[in-house]
Chains A and B, each alone.
Chain A
């Protein structure tokens, strides 16, 4: 079975851990507990008749002034960026984080989950922002760890992309 390491990267409180919990355990909690270091989860999926063991590395959230630790990124086959759709600054942070990731490990298949799409009344992003993702060649998915909307789809899309990359 092939294994692929996926790193969850994003600002603090964007819902990285919640997305993993939703995807792996099908549960959601409103309670916020910040991640320290890296949490590791594994999930095996079958995509197009290929079994893939996903090693999900949930990295602690970063602020604007904190740099990612390159040591956590090494060997990643894909990066799952997470922004909070109700906080525009976390969306801006994705572009800086992507630069750091590319500096550390080069270009790898990536995706941006704009999370908390269930909070429609507080949404802080517009069509131009989605266009920026497209321009940056970053596929974007509006997700909700709370309702599960597009969560599995986003993980599976990225997992499939990693299988196209020659190691």
Chain B
């Protein structure tokens, strides 16, 4: 793939059934939403394609007639260049200056979560699932329109990113324990001992599926990590950071994280997605 077409990122994901589980209930998906705008023909002779060619869905048809002797050609050239640059930027997704369009994207992401929730609830009510009464799911997603990662989160799966060697978590577990800690009904020193860290207050298909919304702008060299609690209940943040900071591929990082979880005795299902930003 030509270097100018897209920023190269290195993604990998894996899932593994827990030792105690008959069926792996985790799922993961890494999808590329491919759209592109690229120059086919042009009278321009000095276009720097890197300025405006980008992934997006757009067809751009432009004619430009320069006016004035001497400067006309330069003017029309500049007009087309700038127009291409602006439209490609706007079509890059919703990354840009348009607040309304960006909010529409967030709305759509939120709507997708709501639809997933409604479908699960409908299936539960139709009684065509066995043992449906408690069917629900966590969901943590990041939609990357580089460099911006939009994050939606329901439940206790987690999202992190490593920046400048520092691991930062951009999700907060939506559990009964967190709720009690927040209102001061549970002392911090009793966290993890109550068993309430496994009781979800929000889940897709549960009583409350309201997602928390956020975003983070990442940079080349940053590493994104999404994972289920089969990893995070057994591998601490320091150990996760140490693995993500190594000079490894995304696949190797996933395997190292999985090995660390298994070595620490994880018997739950484990799903891990790693994305290395801006790799060469």
Q: Is B170 an interface residue (CB 8 A)?
A: yes
User: Among A3, A37, A38, A39, which residue has its beta carbon within 8 angstroms of that of B103?
Assistant: A3
A window 65-97: CB within 8 A of B: 69, 71-72, 74-77
Determine the interface band of chain B, counting residues with CB < 8 A from chain A.
20 to 34
Question: Could you tell me if B182 and A39 are in contact, using CB atoms closer than 8 angstroms?
Answer: no
Question: Could you tell me if B184 and A30 are in contact, using CB atoms closer than 8 angstroms?
Answer: yes
Question: Could you tell me if A29 and B182 are in contact, using CB atoms closer than 8 angstroms?
Answer: yes
Q: Which one of B112-120, B209-217, B235-243 contacts A?
A: B209-217
Question: Could you tell me if A3 and B99 are in contact, using CB atoms closer than 8 angstroms?
Answer: yes
For the complex, give the distance between the alpha carbons of A41 and B106 in Å: 11
Q: Is A45 an interface residue (CB 8 A)?
A: no
Q: Which residue of A lies closest to B184 (CB)?
A: A30
- Give the residues in chain B near A3, CB-CB below 8 Å: 99-100, 103
B window 196-226: CB within 8 A of A: 212-217
For the complex, give the distance between the alpha carbons of A76 and B102 in Å: 12
Q: Chain A 39-59, CB within 8 Å of chain B: the 1/0 string?
A: 111100000000000010000
Q: Is B148 an interface residue (CB 8 A)?
A: yes
Question: Could you tell me if A33 and B172 are in contact, using CB atoms closer than 8 angstroms?
Answer: yes
Question: Could you tell me if A38 and B182 are in contact, using CB atoms closer than 8 angstroms?
Answer: no
Question: Could you tell me if B102 and A39 are in contact, using CB atoms closer than 8 angstroms?
Answer: no
Question: Could you tell me if A39 and B212 are in contact, using CB atoms closer than 8 angstroms?
Answer: yes
For the complex, give the distance between the alpha carbons of A76 and B97 in Å: 9
User: Among A36, A39, A41, A74, which residue has its beta carbon within 8 angstroms of that of B97?
Assistant: A74
Q: Which residue of A lies closest to B218 (CB)?
A: A37
Q: Which residue of B lies closest to A74 (CB)?
A: B97
- Give the residues in chain B near A37, CB-CB below 8 Å: 149, 151, 170, 214-217
Q: Is B169 an interface residue (CB 8 A)?
A: yes
Q: Chain A 111-146, CB within 8 Å of chain B: the 1/0 string?
A: 000000000000000000000000000000000000
Q: How far is the CB of A68 from chain B (nearest CB, A)?
A: 12
Question: Could you tell me if A75 and B213 are in contact, using CB atoms closer than 8 angstroms?
Answer: no
Q: A30-B184, A36-B168 are in contact. Are A71 and B214 (CB under 8 A)?
A: no
Q: Chain B 136-164, CB within 8 Å of chain A: the 1/0 string?
A: 00000000000111010000000000000
- Give the residues in chain B near A29, CB-CB below 8 Å: 182-184
How many chain A residues touch B (CB < 8 A): the figure is 21
Question: Could you tell me if A5 and B99 are in contact, using CB atoms closer than 8 angstroms?
Answer: yes
Q: How far is the CB of A106 from chain B (nearest CB, A)?
A: 13
- Give the residues in chain A near B213, CB-CB below 8 Å: 39-41
Question: Could you tell me if A40 and B97 are in contact, using CB atoms closer than 8 angstroms?
Answer: no
- Give the residues in chain A near B100, CB-CB below 8 Å: 3
Question: Could you tell me if A55 and B169 are in contact, using CB atoms closer than 8 angstroms?
Answer: no
- Give the residues in chain A near B106, CB-CB below 8 Å: 40
User: Among B98, B184, B214, which residue has its beta carbon within 8 angstroms of that of A38?
Assistant: B214
For the complex, give the distance between the alpha carbons of A54 and B46 in Å: 44
Q: Is A31 an interface residue (CB 8 A)?
A: yes
Q: Is B181 an interface residue (CB 8 A)?
A: yes
Question: Could you tell me if A36 and B181 are in contact, using CB atoms closer than 8 angstroms?
Answer: no
- Give the residues in chain A near B147, CB-CB below 8 Å: 71
For the complex, give the distance between the alpha carbons of A74 and B99 in Å: 8
Q: How far is the CB of A16 from chain B (nearest CB, A)?
A: 13
- Give the residues in chain A near B168, CB-CB below 8 Å: 36
For the complex, give the distance between the alpha carbons of A75 and B169 in Å: 26
Q: Which residue of B lies closest to A4 (CB)?
A: B99
Known pairs A3-B100, A29-B183, A30-B184; list 7 more (Cβ under 8 Å): A3-B103, A37-B215, A37-B216, A39-B212, A42-B103, A55-B99, A74-B96
Question: What are 23 A-B pairs at a CB distance below 8 A?
Answer: A3-B99, A3-B103, A5-B103, A29-B183, A30-B184, A31-B182, A36-B169, A36-B170, A37-B149, A37-B170, A37-B215, A37-B216, A38-B214, A38-B216, A40-B213, A41-B213, A42-B103, A55-B99, A55-B103, A71-B148, A74-B97, A76-B99, A77-B99
